[in-house]
Homo-oligomer: A and B are copies of this chain.
Amino acid sequence: MPTIKEVAERAGVSVGTVSHVITGSVPVSDDLRVKVQTAIRDLDYHPNHVARSLKTSRTRTLGIIVPDMTISFFPQIIRGAETAARQKGYALIAVNSTESGERQTEVLSLLRSQQVEGILLVIAAGSAPTNQMARLIEAGIPVVCLDRVPDRIPVDSVSVEDVTAAEMGTEHLLQMGYRRIAIITGPLALKNERRRLQGYEQSLERAGIAPDDDLVWQGNLRTEDLEAMCRERLSNPARRPDAIFCTNGPTALAALRAMRSCRMTTPDDLGFVTFDELTVDDLFRPAITTILQPAYDIGYKASEILLERIETGKDRTDVRTVRLPATLKVRDSSRRVSIVKLSETY
């Protein structure tokens, strides 16, 4: 790898001049500039970003930590964040925490060592991130939380309007005539899961339906556990709900698998609404009624806020909390099937 010195030699100028050409910070005569540019091309010179960063203590790099890139919600966020970062000349490093608190600590440390100038964080479900985040912020590294917002820690965050979104889904099911609506949540340690539960409860209350603990199914994020829980809950016909509302994608997939093994289908046996797209638009059946989160926009917006923090070094005290609206995409799974139609299928 050629260095700035070699470029200078080849162009017959000093390293200072080469640096001036590269950064554009100081005017250089046309003559020399051309010579330098030629040398750069001839040598296939790429400025050593590492050395530059050491000198300027600016890496122009952001980091983003997501639980698992193979869940389609997250790559969309990353793409949005990447686009916003690139527009400001920043690069984005994406890493997975594999939903593990321990691993999250590792990658956080990795990103710090890499001297990223700011971090976008989707908190791992299995983490108690309080200290970590506090230390980061104390160290002057801005953090913006996405999707999952921690309790009690004053930190910038971008997520969906959880309560409203959950109300939207629940009210839609109510309108379609469902009355015994079960909600399947992820870990209630996550604030956004609690908020979605809250939206559900508010809608029921408003509709004059008494809360029923039997219909609140709290799960973790492990597919097998979730599926087993759903199977068990569905196996008792007496207590069975007439509709299911899932607060996230993995939960919904587990619920659908459980329904299949119980030989139940939607909407024939159960109405069904979930957060997050499970498959590719509505090419496939059953077409699931879905609360769509603007994942790309969440990433984009979070990146913008982070960059603003970085570039203005703004006051830590005014925490920004952005909530973007979700949209309800009504499909087949929430269409109420009449009793007549139901009996016909037998």
Residues in chain A within 8 A of chain B (CB atoms): 1, 44, 46-51, 53-54, 59, 61, 68-70, 72, 75-76, 78-79, 82, 91-96, 109-110, 112-115, 135, 138-140, 253, 256-257, 260, 278-280, 283-286
Contacts and interface: CB of A to CB of B under 8 A. Distances in A.
Contacts of A92: 95
A75 B96 CA distance: 10
Per DSSP, are chain A's interface residues mostly helix, strand or loop, or mixed? mixed
Contact of A285 (B68, B110, B285): B285
A96 B72 contact: no
B91 A44 contact: no
Nearest to A256: B283
A46 B109 contact: yes
Contacts of A53: 50
Most interface-central of A51, A72, A283 (chain B CB within 10 A): A283
Copies in the complex: 2
A46 B113 contact: yes
B280 A112 contact: no
A298 B124 CA distance: 26
Nearest to A115: B50
Instruction: Give the one of A49, A54, A59, A279 with max B CB within 10 A.
Output: A49
Given A44-B135, A50-B53, A50-B114, A93 B93 contact: yes
Contacts of A110: 91
Q: Which of A50, A253, A286 has the most CB of B within 10 A?
A: A50
Nearest to A135: B44
A94 B91 CA distance: 10
A114 B91 contact: yes
Nearest to A93: B93
Contacts of A76: 70
B82 A95 contact: yes
A279 B256 CA distance: 14
B59 A69 contact: no
Nearest to A48: B115
B69 A75 contact: yes
A253 B95 CA distance: 28
A278 B278 CA distance: 11
